């Protein structure tokens, strides 16, 4: 695939070891780092020194933590392409992950597409798993499914609904608001079984909770952010129930056909499928 067809960006805030693992996995699978823009949100560890050693497509150093929305917008605008991949820094990529994402989107008329995920401890052979799962589930799609761990966004989406809400205090609610606008606009989205990532599990959010003295069960975003959606309690409740039922149906179908699903958790050395 022509590398000029896509650009990649992620935001980071401390956690340099995860950023290094993420970029190392990209290099391992042939990514030209000139297609990657990294936005550092005011890290105080060795993140900035590490990023200075890389021949990236762009480095943006914010003076403070401006939140995901601001950082994702900065990265997407700094290196524009037909497809922009917005992702977390606490992930590992697999072989042909970009090609499989974009090719699947184009073959199915999708404007936003996300890969399948295994989340948790890296206590298994991810490379072998991802290779086999990508082949087995090559044509599997969760139409209407989405997540913000990684999403490839077609440039037409920015023109139709705009970018992410650039409000630092949203603290992770930016993806919810973005997908809300995507749904209202009727933009086609899906999760594909042809591309896989390992996600260590919201490492930056966990660290930010610790900084603020919050327990891991507490939400980092402001508890009343949902008001920005301008939906009634009943409407939000019904949408959530519908979404949960749909995920269960997807998982049941995938397990019956492939003996795995597009969302797996590593718990006590085993896969738990969601």
Looking at CATH, the fold of the domain delimited by 3-273 is given as: Spore Coat Polysaccharide Biosynthesis Protein SpsA; Chain A (3.90.550)
pTM of the full predicted structure? Answer: 0.91
Contact 114, 151 (CB under 8 A): yes
Paired with 272 in beta bridges are 265
* pLDDT at residue number 167: 86
In whole angstroms, give the CA distance from residue 222 to residue 169: 7
- How far is Cα 151 from Cα 172, in angstroms, rounded to an integer? 15
Digit-coded pLDDT (tens) for 130-188: 999 999 999 999 999 999 999 999 999 999 999 999 988 887 889 999 999 999 999 99
Q: Nearest CA to 208 among 220, 196, 217?
A: 220
Question: Which residue in the block uniquely carries the two structure tokens 């050395």?
Answer: 269
Summarize pLDDT for 210-248 with one digit per residue, the tens.
555 555 555 555 565 667 777 787 887 888 899 999 999
Mean pLDDT of 88-107: 98
The band of 26, judged by pLDDT with boundaries at 50, 70 and 90, is very high
Which residues, other chains included, contact 116 with Cβ-Cβ below 8 Å and sequence gap of 6+? Answer: 133, 137, 191, 192, 193, 195, 196, 197, 262, 263
Map out the domains of the chain as residue ranges.
Answer: 3-273
- Reading the block at residue 213, the tokens are 């003295």
Neighbours of 245 (CB within 10 A): 10
| Cα-based distances in Å from 61 to 64, 74, 212 | 9, 10, 22
> 260 with 254: CB under 8 angstroms?
yes
Q: Are 74 and 47 in contact (CB under 8 A)?
A: no
């Amino acid at each position: 695939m022509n590398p000029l067809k896509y650009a990649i960006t992620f935001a980071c805030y401390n956690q340099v070891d995860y950023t290094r693992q993420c970029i190392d996995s990209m290099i391992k699978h042939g990514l030209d780092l000139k297609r990657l823009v990294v936005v550092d949100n005011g890290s105080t560890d060795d993140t900035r020194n590490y990023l200075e050693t890389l021949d990236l497509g762009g480095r943006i150093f914010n003076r403070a933590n401006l939140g995901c929305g601001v950082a994702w917008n900065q990265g997407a605008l700094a290196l524009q392409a037909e497809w922009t991949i917005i992702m977390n820094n606490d992930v590992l990529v697999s072989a042909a992950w970009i090609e499989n994402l974009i090719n699947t989107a184009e073959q199915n008329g999708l404007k936003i597409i996300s890969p399948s995920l295994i989340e948790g401890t890296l206590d298994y052979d991810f490379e072998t798993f991802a290779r086999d799962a990508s082949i087995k589930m090559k044509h599997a799609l969760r139409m209407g499914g989405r997540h913000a761990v990684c999403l490839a966004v077609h440039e037409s989406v920015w023109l139709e609904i705009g970018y992410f809400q650039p409000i630092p205090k949203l603290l992770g609610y930016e993806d919810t608001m973005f997908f809300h606008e995507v749904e209202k606009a009727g933009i086609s989205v899906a999760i594909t079984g042809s591309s896989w990532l390992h996600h260590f599990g919201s490492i930056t959010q966990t660290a930010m909770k610790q900084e603020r003295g919050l327990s891991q069960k507490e939400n980092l975003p402001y508890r009343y952010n949902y008001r920005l959606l301008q939906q009634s309690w009943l409407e939000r409740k019904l949408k959530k129930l519908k979404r949960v039922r749909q995920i269960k149906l997807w998982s049941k179908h995938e397990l019956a056909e492939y003996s795995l699903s597009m969302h797996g958790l590593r718990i006590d050395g085993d896969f738990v499928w969601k």
